[in-house]
Amino acid sequence: MTDFPITVFHNPACGTSRNVLAMVEAAGYRPEVVEYLQAGWTLDQLGALFAEAGITPREALREKEAVAAEFGLLAADVSDATILAAMVEHPVLVNRPMVRTPKGAAICRPSERVFDLLERTPDSFVKEDGEVVRLR
């Protein structure tokens, strides 16, 4: 266990998620990686994570997923409880990547947002598409 535990709720098929994980590792951390599409979510877990991030289930909803439209989750009158239940049933509906550290939790889109959650950062980072992120 580290003094600064980091959990990355990760989808390895997502470039943003891969960049976030690499950014955390480039900063010298060894995060706990949860592949949430395989592990799934619980209502309590998502509720706590969203509360910590200060977001609603609607704000965490990955609207691009076909399942979101199929289940009518994009309508303005859909309740948070309905969205949460759908996220538990279909983990892909949670926007990614989510990161939790002692500094809080957030959806790290864009990927550079992860640096706000870390105690230390690398001087720079090169994303997998070649974009250079300078931090100092």
Q: How far apart are CA 129 and CA 2, in angstroms?
A: 31
Q: How far apart are CA 26 and CA 88, in angstroms?
A: 31
In 18-123, DSSP assigns E strands to 32-35, 98-101, 104-107
Residue type for 111, please?
S
Q: Which of 2, 8, 11, 14 is catalytic?
A: 14
DSSP SS3 for 88: helix
Q: How far apart are CA 12 and CA 20, in angstroms?
A: 11
Q: Catalytic site residue 14?
A: yes
Catalytic residues: 14
